[in-house]
Amino acid sequence: MIVNMSDGATEEQINHIIDRIREAGYQPHVTRGTERTIVAAVGSGRRHEIEALQVAPGVDNVVAIAQPFKLVSKQVKPQRSVVSVGGVPIGGEEVVVIAGPCSVESREQMLSTAHAVKKAGAAMLRGGAYKPRTSPYDFQGLGEEALKILREASDETGLPIVTEVMSTEDVELLCEYADMLQVGARNMQNFALLRKLATIRKPVLLKRGPSATVKEWLLAAEYLLAGGNKDVVLCERGIKTFETETRNTMDLAAVALARDLSHLPVIADPSHGTGKQSLIAAMSRASVAVGADGLIIEVHPCPERALSDGPQSLDFAAFEKVMRGLSDPLRGVAGLVAARA
Ligand code: PEP
Ligand code: MN
């Protein structure tokens, strides 16, 4: 339930509502806008006691939260959230590009990539230390050695890093090295991991599961917010469909929809979304056009030698070209100029 306070509600009136929400068995969550304050009653309690608050002083109205996700919804927080990752704001005016290899393979590979993507305009680095691989025989990542390399790359370039966390056991170690922790697509509904990440003071990049609906994805984000971590960025990375020409089907409507339903920033991953180098430029531009707050793109010094995801990784020159293309305007629309004249 949401208690919308009236424009001139006093602090005392707001505090009274917060107390009453607690008494009714819910957790209160306050969002202070420039004009009005919203107090959400989240959890399960005695609903009629919240409904009755519509006659309390300073209250404009009381409405039900339409969606099963609550703290994530725009109804509870109409203003867009900006998540700061090591000083880089995601969800603000500018599109944030995160770039780097799928896996950290060596110091030389990571450092050369970090410098190249920084020069091309990336604002953050990526690189997997713990890799979720479909086959147990594939390269599984360098673990802590990779984390040290990532830290060095970040210190040298000043770019914050995001890296994937696969297990609750690794959370503390990752927090020592990373600026942001990524929950991979395969772990989107690993509720034990989400609960643990809700308690840390690091931003989380939550990828959409390959078979998850937008509602399930937002409910996974709700675990993080409900547990106390508000710094969550969503990432669309393609879903499973009947199409076999692309690795996944990149669901750009979901980017626009997630931004419609939620105040959280949403970024897009055209690398995993398509699995094809040749499609990264087009899908990057398309993602920005539908409102993505950022992109995460795989870049490798020599994609043909990559230990994971080579076919979808860009070399330095191709990445630079994608970056330059991002600021090109969309095409002119036939008839629009004439219609305006
Ligand atoms: C990755 O970012 O390299 C990765 C494994 O992503 P996803 O979880 O989206 O497959
Ligand atoms: Mn990858």
**Contacts (Cβ under 8 Å, ≥6 apart) of 105:** 142, 306, 307
In tens, the pLDDT along 4-24 reads 999 999 999 999 999 999 999
The answer, yes or no, to whether any atom of ligand 1 lies below 6 A from the CB of 141, is: no
Given a contact cutoff of 8 angstroms between Cβ atoms, the answer to whether 213 and 186 are in contact is no
Stretch among 138-147, 287-296, 328-337 having the lowest mean pLDDT: 328-337
What is the predicted pLDDT for the residue at 35?
A: 83
User: What percent of the chain has a predicted confidence (pLDDT) above 90?
Assistant: 94
pLDDT band at 50 (very low <50, low <70, confident <90, very high): very high
In tens, the pLDDT along 177-195 reads 999 999 999 999 999 999 9
What is the predicted pLDDT for the residue at 262?
A: 98
In tens, the pLDDT along 96-115 reads 999 999 999 999 999 999 99
What residue's CA is closest to ligand 1, atom 10? Answer: 185
Give the number of the atom of ligand 1 that is nearest the alpha carbon of residue 308: 3
| Distance in Å, CA 45 to ligand 1 centroid | 38
- pLDDT of 329 over the 90 cut: no
Residues β-bridged to residue 298: 100
Stretch among 33-47, 153-167, 210-224, 301-315 having the lowest mean pLDDT: 33-47
The answer, yes or no, to whether any atom of ligand 1 lies below 6 A from the CB of 184, is: yes
Q: Which ligand is nearest to the CA of 240?
A: 1
Dist CA 234 CA 203 (whole Å): 11
- pLDDT of 337 over the 90 cut: no
In tens, the pLDDT along 242-291 reads 999 999 999 999 999 999 999 999 999 999 999 999 999 999 999 999 99
| Distance in Å, CA 60 to ligand 2 centroid | 49
Q: Which of 247, 233, 275, 218 is nearest to 102 (CA)?
A: 275
What residue's CA is closest to ligand 1, atom 9? Answer: 185
| Distance in Å, CA 268 to ligand 2 centroid | 13
In tens, the pLDDT along 116-133 reads 999 999 999 999 999 999
How big is the CA angle at 133 (ends 150 and 88), to the nearest 5 degrees?
35
What is the predicted pLDDT for the residue at 195?
A: 98
The answer, yes or no, to whether any atom of ligand 1 lies below 6 A from the CB of 212, is: no
Dist CA 182 CA 267 (whole Å): 12
Give the number of the atom of ligand 1 that is nearest the alpha carbon of residue 126: 2
Residues β-bridged to residue 62: 3
What residue's CA is closest to ligand 1, atom 3? Answer: 102
- pLDDT of 76 over the 90 cut: yes
Q: What is the average pLDDT score of the chain?
A: 97
| Distance in Å, CA 49 to ligand 1 centroid | 45
Give the number of the atom of ligand 1 that is nearest the alpha carbon of residue 187: 8
What is the predicted pLDDT for the residue at 139?
A: 93
What is the predicted pLDDT for the residue at 328?
A: 86
- pLDDT of 59 over the 90 cut: yes
Give the number of the atom of ligand 1 that is nearest the alpha carbon of residue 185: 8
What is the predicted pLDDT for the residue at 34?
A: 85
**Contacts (Cβ under 8 Å, ≥6 apart) of 267:** 90, 96, 98, 205, 233, 234, 235, 236, 292, 293, 294, 295, 296
The answer, yes or no, to whether any atom of ligand 1 lies below 6 A from the CB of 219, is: no
What is the predicted pLDDT for the residue at 235?
A: 99
In tens, the pLDDT along 270-284 reads 999 999 999 999 999
The answer, yes or no, to whether any atom of ligand 1 lies below 6 A from the CB of 99, is: no
What is the DSSP-derived secondary structure letter of residue 64?
-
What is the predicted pLDDT for the residue at 338?
A: 83
| Distance in Å, CA 79 to ligand 1 centroid | 29
What is the predicted pLDDT for the residue at 75?
A: 93
**Contacts (Cβ under 8 Å, ≥6 apart) of 79:** 31, 33, 263
Give the number of the atom of ligand 1 that is nearest the alpha carbon of residue 237: 9
The phi, psi pair for 215, rounded to 5°, reads -65, -45
Average pLDDT over residues 25-43: 93
| Distance in Å, CA 282 to ligand 2 centroid | 19
